[in-house]
Chain A
């Protein structure tokens, strides 16, 4: 069965660039939209952005100036870069897949990566 396996640095200092990667294990990127979502320590969830293998991407306007999404079809993975991190970016970061019936139903998720930003 298809799984999303994600990895990346967990402890960062302010002003550094967060970098996470998510691989589609047991499947392909296909024509789905692929997402990044984060969960803050207070438990709120926030949409970061989305991308598909065609190269199309959409970002949350609140983060657009700091976020870069990329996708590598040869490696079956997609990535998130968030620059100039601060303590407010401390969160669990998830990758997810958009459902075919409605792109904004997330039917498959990675296990999450805790990213802590501290000086």
Chain B
């Protein structure tokens, strides 16, 4: 299986801050990468697919980049509703795998 490693595991920020989350794949996955937002008790939300394509309805403060093995998710200006846990996921193999998650907390 392809291993996905996210860092940091948690990050603190204030409203308006810029934060970046990184994700590394154990082998090349081209741009077959998605980012999700999870909140307790809520249906997870697909934010980005294809490493950098914003899903319809997702605010433009979210952006993704990278290819091969190294990827980033950036939130350009944190909003109160962005405090959640974010996961990367590779879609390059028949067994999709996820990173360990990054919890974005209020500072």
List chain A positions with a Cβ less than 8 A from chain B: 3-4, 39, 43-47, 58, 60-61, 94, 96, 99, 101-112
Main secondary structure of the interface of B (DSSP, over half): loop
Known contacts A106-B44, A106-B89; 13 additional CB pairs below 8 A are A4-B43, A43-B100, A43-B101, A44-B98, A47-B95, A60-B95, A94-B44, A101-B50, A102-B49, A104-B89, A105-B46, A109-B44, A112-B41
A108 to B42, CA, bound (A): 12
List chain B positions with a Cβ less than 8 A from chain A: 32, 34, 36, 38, 41-46, 49-50, 55, 85, 87, 89, 91, 94-98, 100-101
CB within 8 Å for A61 and B95 given contacts A43-B85, A105-B49 = yes
Contact partners of A46 in chain B: CB under 8 A: 98
Closest to B100 in A: A44
A115 to B45, CA, bound (A): 21
CB within 8 Å for A112 and B95 given contacts A43-B85, A102-B32, A102-B49 = no
